[in-house]
């Protein structure tokens, strides 16, 4: 995948009373909540959902911009999460932030657990009665200190950084506390939308606890089911009072059992609230993998309009790819059982492909395994317009001004009668919502331009990096959703002819810094030249996850 440029100004300080940054007095938000801006400093294989967004570029699917940076005439909104631990609040928060940021809505998540850890220090514990309604005076003071700091950072971001949606991720267990919170936000001219994740399905509770929490050292070498039971008992002991949402005067949405049912109350206050509800009707918190793979090579690789069939090499690639993915999924299941996971059948695999003949024929290789293939017309590759079949030299000669514009902004620029990557992202929005709704493992077979956009959504890649993302044919890319961030993995396809790996010309010769290029993505960037043949060496799958493990480790023991 393409690498992100290093941040030129990584030191963010606290916001002073005059609205300026105080670099000598970093806030808890910058230390704890926003430290993940360093995560994808060197690789787009690390999910950037928690990165501090830069204001220089529009979001991938953003349709317009405003002076204030706020969209849809919706003002400022605080989405307040409600629910006990292991109910999927953080997962929902991250998923919702991903979708809103994709649309261009300035959204940031404020995890109260980050503030608690920053206040009590590394390895510190809150008092036993910290969550009790009748807590001791010292515990009440500690709780108020943590809450005050978190809310100050929310207001600072909304007021001084033109933020629009602040997601407040905490338990918020009592009705009185929620009413007070709504009144406080109203004083700051912030609309409040409560979102409760309510789970009474014991099987789902145990699965959530097992998937999210038992990585803690407290449960090391313990049977996963027993660890989940102990963890849920710990929640009952530490948070003895929880009142589900029933406040008629508040704006709230209640998700029951990870989207099985959805209730809402008083949420018709603006367009953005309706978009949030619409998104929540298409999401869930069940774990499943998404795989990305290129279509095989065709007999006529350079034509956009000719719907050419697979070449002989393309058929061979399709068979190798299908065998590799099938073996990988079976191996992952065996490893999960060996680690103490449940001995259950493989999760069903759904296959999506475009309506192009080469994609359909690539998917045919899975028929022997009994998988169904669904065609998606929106997943057709980017339209090159007048650039079809033209060499880069010819494009430079015929359209020098267009080439210059394209090099400045390869994401938004379109050649005559062509599509831009932004056009493609807007076209793919129904696919993104279907992707969120899908509960089976999902394999997407498409042209590299389509894979770039869908991968960018799931891994929060910026617009200037999307045209440079690389999907060589000798790799399957797997994305695994997790509560705090998504994880990515490369799965090598062994035995391919090295000439197959570079594959078809990038975007039918549209002169954009291509998959084989390490050129800059804006001013100074040049045309990507065809990559050299790759020497294929058999190697095991490489797992590429967030190496800044502290934040993820912290979430494992999070009781907020």
Active-site positions read 169
The DSSP letter of residue 428 is T
| Helical segments of 221-374, H only | 224-238, 271-280, 312-338, 357-363
How far apart CA 281 and CA 428 sit, in angstroms, is 18
Count of all residues that appear for the chain in the document: 560
Distance of CA 424 to the CA centre of its chain: 18
For strand 290-294 and strand 441-446, is the pairing parallel, antiparallel, or unpaired?
Answer: parallel
Residue whose structure tokens are 């494992």: 556
Partners of residue 263 on adjacent β-strands: 254
Classified as helix, coil or strand, 212 is: helix
Q: Which neighbouring-strand residues pair with 168?
A: 80, 110
SS (H, E, C) 137-174: HHHHHHHHHHHHHHHHHHHHHHHHCCCCEEEEECCCCC
| Nearest-angstrom CA–CA distance, 227 and 244 | 26
Buried/exposed code over 487-497 (b: 16+ C-beta within 10 A; e: otherwise): bbbbbbbeebe
461 backbone dihedrals φ, ψ, rounded to 5°: -95, 140
User: Do 17 and 9 meet the contact criterion of CB atoms below 8 Å apart?
Assistant: no
What does each C-alpha distance from 225 to 149, 212, 340, 465 come to in angstroms? 37, 13, 9, 42
Q: Are 90 and 555 in contact (CB under 8 A)?
A: yes
d(C-alpha 128, C-alpha 142), whole Å: 12
Q: Which residue do the tokens 């003895």 mark?
A: 240
**Going by C-beta distance under 8 Å and a sequence separation of 6 or more, which residues neighbour residue 506?**
448, 512, 514, 515, 516, 528
Nearest partner of 482 among 401, 410, 546, judged by Cα: 546
Q: Answer for the pair 410, 404: CB distance below 8 angstroms, yes or no.
A: no
The number of angstroms, rounded, from the C-alpha of 435 to the middle of its chain's C-alpha atoms is 12
Are 212 and 559 in contact by the 8 Å Cβ rule? The answer is: no
**How many whole angstroms separate alpha carbon 456 and alpha carbon 514?**
16
Residues 6+ apart with CB under 8 A from 469: 1, 2, 44, 451, 452, 455, 456, 461, 515
Output phi, psi for 335, to 5 deg: -65, -35
């Amino acid at each position: 995948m393409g690498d992100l440029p290093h941040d030129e100004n990584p030191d963010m300080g606290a916001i002073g009373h005059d609205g300026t940054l105080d670099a000598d007095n970093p806030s808890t938000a910058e230390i704890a909540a926003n430290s993940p801006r360093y995560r994808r400093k060197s690789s787009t294989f690390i999910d950037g959902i928690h990165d501090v967004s830069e204001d220089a570029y529009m979001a991938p699917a953003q349709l317009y911009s405003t002076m204030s940076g706020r969209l849809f005439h919706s003002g400022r909104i605080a989405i307040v999460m409600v629910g006990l631990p292991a109910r999927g609040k953080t997962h929902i928060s991250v998923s919702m932030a991903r979708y809103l940021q994709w649309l261009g809505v300035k959204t940031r998540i404020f995890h109260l657990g980050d503030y608690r850890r920053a206040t009590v220090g590394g390895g510190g514990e809150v008092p036993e009665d910290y969550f009790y309604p009748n807590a001791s005076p010292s515990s009440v003071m500690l709780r108020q200190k943590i809450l005050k700091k978190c809310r100050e950072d929310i207001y600072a971001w909304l007021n001084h950084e033109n933020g629009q949606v602040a997601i407040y991720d905490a338990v918020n267990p009592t009705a009185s506390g929620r009413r007070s919170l709504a009144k406080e936000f109203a004083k700051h001219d912030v609309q409040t939308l409560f979102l409760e994740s309510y789970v009474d399905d014991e099987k789902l509770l145990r699965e959530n606890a097992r998937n999210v929490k038992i990585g803690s050292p407290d449960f090391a070498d313990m049977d996963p089911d027993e660890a989940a039971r102990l963890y849920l008992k710990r929640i009952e002991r530490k948070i003895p009072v929880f009142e589900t949402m029933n406040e008629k005067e508040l704006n709230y949405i209640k998700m029951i059992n990870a989207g099985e049912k959805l209730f809402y109350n008083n949420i018709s206050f603006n367009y953005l609230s309706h978009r949030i509800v619409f998104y929540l009707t298409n999401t869930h918190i069940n774990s499943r993998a998404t795989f990305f793979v290129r279509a095989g090579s065709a007999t006529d690789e350079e034509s956009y309009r000719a719907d050419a069939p697979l070449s002989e090499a393309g058929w061979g690639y399709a068979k190798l790819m299908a065998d590799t993915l099938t073996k990988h999924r079976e191996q992952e299941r065996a490893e999960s059982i060996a680690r103490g996971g449940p001995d259950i059948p493989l999760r069903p695999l759904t296959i999506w492909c475009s309506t192009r003949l080469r994609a359909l024929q690539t998917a045919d290789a899975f028929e022997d395994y009994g998988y169904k293939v669904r065609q998606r017309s929106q997943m057709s590759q980017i339209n090159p317009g007048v650039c079809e079949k033209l060499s880069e030299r010819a494009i430079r000669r015929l359209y020098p001004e267009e080439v210059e514009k394209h090099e400045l902004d390869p994401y938004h620029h379109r050649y005559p009668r062509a599509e831009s990557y932004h056009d493609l992202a807007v076209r793919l929005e129904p696919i993104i919502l279907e992707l969120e709704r899908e509960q089976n493992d999902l394999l997407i077979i498409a042209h590299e331009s389509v894979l770039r956009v869908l991968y960018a959504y799931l891994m929060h890649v910026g617009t200037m990096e999307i045209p440079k993302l690389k999907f060589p044919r000798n790799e399957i890319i797997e994305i695994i959703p997790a509560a705090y961030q998504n994880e990515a993995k490369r799965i090598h396809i062994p035995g391919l002819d090295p000439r197959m790996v570079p594959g078809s010309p990038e975007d039918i010769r549209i002169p954009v810094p291509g998959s084989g290029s390490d050129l800059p993505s804006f001013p100074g960037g040049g045309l990507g030249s065809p990559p050299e043949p790759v020497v294929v060496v058999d190697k095991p799958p490489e797992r590429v996850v967030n190496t800044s493990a502290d934040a993820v480790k912290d979430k494992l023991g999070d009781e907020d």
